[in-house]
């Protein structure tokens, strides 16, 4: 059974809010593995659908209904960054069980280490490499499991709250991801301006954005982008974008979360 069935749009969401360099994920159930971030112009991520089907094993071999153990159902969702992966030695239908070590960020601004134990299809192992971001349900004692049961809108809302807490999103930027026009833009220029301490690259982007009526407007903004977004915003490329009709000064650009 495939545990991860990420994205075809790479997460073409229409709910967004992720990292401003990223992209929106769509309703395609394969949409989180190739997820989009909301990128360059807002600090937004668009959360793609992470899992289409899953089987979690707790301490034993019984498959757990609902995708997560009973004690985690309804637990808050945080975003876990993978810092390490190890096989437990157990396999189910030739699929390995992994201990996925995570640094979990929560909507109230906390960060804590956790390990999620998960059966992962061997074809999806690249989705749990260090640096990948995975939604998790967590308890007050620090335990966590991958949020394989959560609907897309709940994952998106959780991601938005986490990034507001971390200062990656402002209320205005969040409004763009919730109410903005989904359109396209041409990258007129992209100039790297430095390196941020968190590993992101500071760039100055100039875009020509298409309005719903076919007319265009240009906007130039300074943003910090994750390394995987840089190749996707080179001069001449067409990107997905979002903006508010009553405020064309902020544009969210959608790029894929994974190269």
Note the pLDDT of residue 183: 95
Task: Judge residue 217's burial from the number of C-beta atoms within 10 Å of its C-beta, 0-12 exposed, 13-18 middle, 19 or more buried.
Answer: middle
Partnered with residue 181 across adjacent β-strands are: 243
pTM of the model: 0.61
Task: Judge residue 170's burial from the number of C-beta atoms within 10 Å of its C-beta, 0-12 exposed, 13-18 middle, 19 or more buried.
Answer: middle
Two structure tokens written together for 39? 């990128």
The secondary structure of residue 22, as a DSSP letter, is: S
Note the pLDDT of residue 257: 54
Residues in CB range of 214: below 8 A, 6 or more apart: none
Note the pLDDT of residue 256: 67
Q: Which residues of the chain have pLDDT under 70?
A: 1-67, 198, 256-259
Q: Say if CB 194 and CB 168 are below 8 A apart.
A: no
Note the pLDDT of residue 82: 92
**Distance, CA of 72 to CA of 222 (rounded, Å):** 40
Coarse DSSP helix, strand, coil percentages of the chain, rounded to the nearest 5 percent = 15, 40, 45
Residues in CB range of 203: below 8 A, 6 or more apart: 40, 190, 191, 192, 193, 222, 223, 224, 225, 230, 233
Q: Where are the domains of the chain?
A: 1-50+150-259, 54-149
Note the pLDDT of residue 2: 40
Note the pLDDT of residue 34: 38
Note the pLDDT of residue 3: 43
Q: Half-sphere exposure of residue 92, counting CA atoms within 13 Å on the CB side?
A: 18
Is domain 54-149 given the CATH code 2.40.50 in the classification?
Answer: yes
């Amino acid at each position: 059974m495939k545990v991860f069935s990420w994205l075809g749009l790479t997460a073409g969401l229409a709910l967004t809010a992720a990292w401003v360099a990223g992209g929106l994920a769509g309703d395609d159930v394969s949409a989180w593995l190739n997820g989009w971030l909301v990128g360059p112009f807002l600090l937004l991520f668009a959360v793609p659908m992470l899992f289409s089907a899953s089987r979690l094993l707790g301490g034993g071999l019984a498959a757990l209904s609902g995708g997560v153990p009973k004690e985690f159902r309804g637990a808050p969702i945080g975003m876990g960054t993978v810092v390490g992966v190890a096989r437990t030695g157990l396999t189910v239908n030739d699929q390995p069980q992994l201990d996925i070590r995570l640094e979990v960020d929560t909507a109230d601004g906390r960060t804590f280490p956790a390990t999620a134990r998960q059966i992962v299809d061997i074809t999806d192992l690249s989705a749990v490499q260090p640096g990948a971001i995975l939604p998790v349900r967590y308890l007050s004692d620090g335990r966590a499991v991958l949020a394989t049961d959560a609907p897309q809108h709940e994952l998106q809302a959780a991601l938005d709250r986490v990034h507001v807490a971390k200062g990656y999103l402002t209320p205005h930027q969040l409004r763009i991801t919730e109410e903005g026009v989904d359109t396209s833009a041409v990258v007129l220029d992209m100039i790297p301006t430095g390196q941020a301490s968190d590993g992101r690259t500071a760039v100055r982007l100039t875009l020509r954005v298409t309005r719903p009526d076919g007319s265009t407007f240009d906007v130039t903004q300074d943003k910090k982008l994750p390394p995987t977004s840089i190749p996707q915003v080179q001069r001449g490329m067409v990107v997905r974008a979002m903006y508010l009709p009553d405020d064309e000064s902020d544009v969210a650009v959608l790029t894929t979360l994974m190269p």
